[in-house]
Amino acid sequence: MWTRASILLAFAPILACYHGIDDPPIADGETSLEDAGSDADDSPGEDSSADGSDSSATNDDGSSTTGPDTDDEGSSSSSADEGTSGTTGGQGSSVCERWNADRAQVYEGSWDGSVDSCDPADMAADWRERALLQVNLYRFLADLPEVTTSSERDAKAQACALMMSANNSLNHSPPEDWTCWSEDGSQGAGSANLASTPAVTAVDLYMVDPGNPTTMGHRRWILSNSLGPTGIGSTDEYSCMWTLGGSGDAGKAWTAYPPPGEFPFGAVNPLWWGGGIDETGWTVQSDDIDLGAAEVSITVDGEARAVSVTSLASGYGSTSAITMIPDGWTTQSGTTYHVEITGISEAISYDVEVIDCD
């Protein structure tokens, strides 16, 4: 059984990596993650490399500081005072109905490539669809529009996954002497979330985002206003998910996770180890509101729930973000949590109703 995850983060501006959990070696059965770097210097939808690709950045460092400032599009998480309150999560269909249907597709697939011959080939099409389904499920919960993949980014993500598998390591700036190194794989590595798990499992790992307390960049990229199109590639052991240089235009003033409205209890920890988001934290991210001085209150029926609040580094899927880590309590099914965030330009208020979808 996996007992922990090690996450590697790479920062495009300095192209450096570090282990997320005290630099121990990764034991058998453990997973690691690595985020692509920041495209903080890019304009909206603009690729981060000089040649027009998104390869110069890496995903926990990827920035959506250029995120759109349009009105919430199809979102029910803000009131007429843009971004100040939230009442519902999801987009139309029953949250439990959507959750149960999509979670029934949480299994991996087949890869017809070869590390021995450095052949990336491709992951099975239905496998990629299942991974994308999980990405869009989490975006649905957060009232964000779905994203698609592009064939070009899929191919580069696939070449990236081959390289990670061939070298049994994660690296956003893989050296050219790496086994199975390729230009496409290198571009994919510099523009993606990276995981030492296959593609479907990786999405859950990105959303919990263990070992990444100062950025929570994997989650923030999946919930970014600017995400899409993405690209997904996977071998039997490693996967890459393209996140940078997106042309998405969700336009939400802020996005919370867990989001306003109904939230499946199974999403608190979709993994089979660890403490889930109670351990890594609830998050709020924004491209429009500076959350750096945020003060947070979480209550249940008027009774305060202590939280530890951390202002996260800018440029990881959003301009600004905070974590709110439960202190001495855990998220419970059948409970509604009222969240108030003050000390910012526009106070944020919303309710999270945790429901059992089993």
Instruction: State phi, psi for 66 to the nearest 5 degrees.
Output: -95, 15
| CA distance linking residue 217 with residue 322, whole number of Å | 11
Tokens of 134: 């999980």
d(CA 63, CA 195): 19
User: Which 8-state DSSP code applies to residue 111?
Assistant: B
Burial 139-172 (b: 16+ CB within 10 A, else e): bbbbbbbebebeeebbbbbbbbbbbbbbbebbbb
pLDDT at position 93 is 61
- How far apart (Å, rounded) are the C-alpha atoms in residues 106 and 83? 33
Tell me the mean pLDDT per 10 residues along the chain, length 358: 33 24 32 59 30 34 30 30 47 83 98 98 98 98 98 98 98 97 98 97 97 96 98 98 95 98 98 96 98 98 98 96 98 98 97 97
- Lookup: tokens for 57: 């950045």
Beta-carbon count within 10 A of 132 CB: 22
Helix (H) or strand (E) holding 35: strand 31-35
pLDDT at residue 250 in the model? 96
Q: Is the peptide bond before 24 cis (omega within 30 degrees of 0)?
A: no
CA distance 213 to 112: 36
For the chain, the first-to-last Cα distance in angstroms comes to 23
3-class DSSP state for residue 278?
A: helix
> Which pair of structure tokens corresponds to residue 271?
């993994």
Tell me the C-alpha to C-alpha distance, in Å, between residue 73 and each of 65, 69, 70, 91, 262: 19, 11, 8, 11, 19
User: What is the Cα–Cα distance from 149 to 232, expressed in whole angstroms?
Assistant: 7
Kind and range of the H or E element at 324? strand 320-326
Distance from C-alpha of 241 to C-alpha of 233, rounded to nearest angstrom: 7
Question: Which tokens hold the place of 196?
Answer: 């030492």
How far apart CA 298 and CA 86 sit, in angstroms, is 14
Chain-centre distance of CA 47, in angstroms? 19
Q: What residue spans of the chain are helical by DSSP H?
A: 95-103, 125-141, 151-167, 183-189, 199-208, 217-222, 277-280
Q: Looking at beta carbons, which pairs linking 297-304 to residues 24 or more positions away fall under 8 Å? A: 297/339, 297/340, 297/341, 297/342, 298/324, 298/326, 298/337, 298/338, 298/339, 298/340, 299/337, 299/338, 299/340, 300/335, 300/336, 300/337, 300/338
- For residue 346, which of 67, 83, 119 has the smallest C-alpha distance? 83
Q: From the centroid of its chain, how far is CA 113?
A: 27
Q: Are 192 and 240 in contact (CB under 8 A)?
A: yes
Beta bridge partners of 84: none
